[in-house]
Structure 1
Amino acid sequence: MQHSTRHTGTPHHHAVSHDHAGHHGAPPGASWSTAAKATLHCLTGCAVGEILGMAIGTALMWGNVPTMALAIVLAFVFGYSFTLFAVRRAGLDLKTAIRVALAADTVSIAVMELVDNTVIALVPGAMDAHLSDGLFWSALLGGFAVAFLVTTPVNKWMIGRGKGHAVVHAHH
């Protein structure tokens, strides 16, 4: 474990944050733009996995719990995969790339999935809606929108501390 990333002013912190716009000489941190881009990246993987999981579960006529479980698992798989492929292209070996993807995306995906699935669960009838129902898609997209709004400040906080998506930028 690297404990040096917890201390502000370490070379690692400055290396992580130097590429991000909006600092204006402030201590290391993350701009809202950087946080939004990281969250959008995460949301893309989550959305692909979740929609695929919902479609598979619905097509197989599974119940709500196994369908949602599959959707969440696939959201993590696709979320991690997008980062994994990006850092592998940047030249990292597989073991390091896996560590970077896990460090970069775990909290972001977890928050996003928690919020998104809570929204879907709270929308009356959404859990029983079919892929052909507007309610299914509006609840899903609404859940993604709320998840984006909640997860962006989380990512901003993490990146500003050299965690989350900051570890991806450290390897570019």
Structure 2
Amino acid sequence: MQGLVGRLEQLAAPARDLLQPVLSDPRVIAAWAVVVVAALAVLWWDIRARNQALPSLMKGVWTLVVLYSGPFGLGIYWVAGRTQIDHDSVWRRGLRSTAHCYSGCGAGEVVGIVLAQGILGLAVGWVAAATFGFAYLFGFSLTVGPLVQEGVGLREAVVDALYSETPSITVMEIVAIGTDLLLAAEAAITDVLFWSGLIFSLSLGFLAAYPVNVALVHVGVKEGMDNPAEMEGQAAD
């Protein structure tokens, strides 16, 4: 395993050497913060003006997605999450499913990295394990909780979440945590690279998990979240 990790690090070294100086620049993260605030403002203007029909859960999901990924997250919402989409598809359902997973796992990843690396200063292996545990717990809970609220039994909800969410969470977090540790394993919580590496890794995790969710939706393992255009029709009724 260590040999495999070493080979992967060697292969990724050119990308790391290219990205680290950029991600260590305070101007980059400051500019990114401005862009994220603007993207959040657009999201919430659109939700309040045009998409009140979205359930509270999805409003929260899209807020977190845009918070993590800025204009990239806003673009996903625009393509797949608004009631104005002209038609639904497995690709859009996959985007919504990935966004739902991403909102919970992203929060868990942030908590895990900040606690394990930033505050406790654990070794890399423990940081990876703790962060994966938090990400899985948060993502898993975001699936089980709504199912139980809808009247599904706890046992059934847990079993459903295990087989429907584990593949996408695992892929998302392997890529996200691996990227973050590759870029910023030695960074302290006060370093710009600590936060910019975390931000960058989150979006890569989304991209990695997206085809997994599309496949799960396609074969019927996941439903891919409701069509927002149908929610608009229900609200009108």
Shared fold, TM over 0.5: yes
TM alignment of 1:1-172, pairs within 5 A: 21-23=87-89, 30=90, 32-57=91-116, 58-123=118-183, 126-163=184-221, 165-166=222-223
Q: Is the 8 A contact 1:115 1:147 kept in 2?
A: yes
More displaced, 75-84 or 42-51?
42-51
* Stretches of 4+ aligned residues off by more than 3 angstroms: none
Paired letter, 1:34 = R
Q: Is the 8 A contact 2:172 2:209 kept in 1?
A: yes
Shift, 1:22, TM fit: 2.6
Where relative contact order (Cα < 8 A, 6+ residues apart) is larger, the structure is 1
Gaps of 5+ in 1: 1-20, 24-29
RMSD over aligned CA atoms reads 1.8
What is the number of equivalent residue pairs in this alignment? 139
Q: Is the 8 A contact 1:100 1:168 kept in 2?
A: no
Q: Pick closer, same or farther for the CA change 1:99–1:127 going to 2, 3 Å.
A: same
> Using the alignment, how far apart are the partners of 2:93 and 2:207 within structure 1?
14
Shift, 1:48, TM fit: 1.2
Q: Is the 8 A contact 2:111 2:131 kept in 1?
A: yes
Task: Tell me what 1:15 maps to.
Answer: none
Percent same amino acid at aligned positions? Answer: 31
> Using the alignment, how far apart are the partners of 2:93 and 2:150 within structure 1?
19
Partner-residue secondary structure (3-state), 2:151: coil
TM-score scaled to structure 2, two decimals? 0.55
Gaps of 5+ in 2: 1-86, 227-237
Q: Is the 8 A contact 1:116 1:144 kept in 2?
A: yes
Partner-residue secondary structure (3-state), 1:91: coil
Paired letter, 1:40 = A
TM-score scaled to structure 1, two decimals? 0.74
Deviations 1:63-98 (A, max 9, x none): 222122111111111110000001111110100010
Paired letter, 2:140 = Y
Q: Is the 8 A contact 1:101 1:168 kept in 2?
A: no
